[in-house]
Structures are given as structure tokens and as C-alpha cells.
Amino acid sequence: MIWSIGTGTLRTQKEAEKVEAQSRNRLIAHLGSRKAAVRIGIASDHGGFVLKCEMAASLESAGYEVVDFGAHQLNPEDDYPDYIIPLARAVAAGQLERGVALCGSGVGASIAANKIPGVRAGLIHDVFSAHQGVEDDDMNVFCLGGQVVGTALALELIETFLSAHFSGAPRHRRRLAKVQALETILPRGFLETLRQRAQNP
């Protein structure tokens, strides 16, 4: 049987399982280089539910402290903002080192997460972006599609994301400052007020 693990290369089930095992081992090795447990948040709607469960289990087995913001059961009618927004707020508040957000494509998750000031979420489906997004853009929330990538590639991407560090280069700080300035244009709480009015017309 031939399996695709999301890299554009078709592989046998045995090869896919080998790649998945290698990714898990790299996660364990990365955690072993840290002095303290790393606190990671994870959230998804129904579209990313199965992959979220697999990723959370792999992260926990590698020794990460995983905070699961839901969904806690598969519900085809649930809404991604209900899980992604609390995760994003926890990252912005410094309660988590980084966050992982999933939906079917990853697009909705990234849109929702980026509404929270202090969050820099990226939709990631390739290894280069998984580390470059952290090194250049200080990405702190990793978004991906549960219906787009398989477990093996997802674990490779999350390992790459978690092992990357912001370079702190002056040009990157300058660019981030311009983005962060946008977060102060609107009065604090303005967007929340709009949301409340939309819910209670």
C-alpha cells in the first residue's frame, strides 16, 4: 500500500511510520536539551480533531507539558474560534511558550489567532516556513490543516517549529515593530466591544 505523508513524495506505510518515529525521537531529543519543561497549548475544531489528538499524545510522550484547549470530543458542528481564541489569548498572556492551532485547512485557525494582539500566527505546511517563521518573524502560534497534512509530516513540522529561535536581527525587530504598531491604533477592548454588539444586537 502506498501512503502520502504530505511532502509530495509517495511512500509505503513502513516508510511513513519510520519518518513518524524519527520525528518523535527528534521531539524527545529537543526537549532533553531544555532545562525546564516546555508548556505548549493546542486547540482544534472538528477538522483538526484527530490530528490534534495524535500531536498532543506525541508531545506528551516526548515530555512536553501540553495544555489542551479543546475540542475534547468530535463534534462536526463546532466552531474553531471557540477553541483557537482562548489558546491565542493564553499565548499572548505568556501562559504558554507557544501554541498549536488546527482546523480543516488551518486557514480559519490562523485568521482567528491573529486577531489577538501579541499573537504572531502562521499557517505552516512545509519545513522551511516552520523554522523561518520563528527565526525571522517570531511566530508563536503554529497553524496547520488537519485535512491537509498527515501525522508524520505534522510531527516533523512541530519539531522544527519548537526547536527554532527568533534571531533578533535588527531588520526583523524593525519589521515586527511596524506590525505591532497596528495593534495600538484601535482603543483597547474595541474589537471585543464589537463582538459583544454582534452577539447582542
Q: List, by residue number, the catalytic residues.
A: 103
**First vs last C-alpha separation in the chain:** 55
Kindly report whether the peptide bond that precedes residue 71 is cis, defined as omega within 30 degrees of 0: yes
Which conformational region is residue 8 in: left (phi greater than 0), alpha (psi within -120 to 50 degrees), or beta?
Answer: left
Residue 194 burial (C-beta neighbours within 10 Å; 0-12, 13-18, 19+)? exposed
Q: Choose among 100, 147, 91: nearest CA to 118.
A: 91
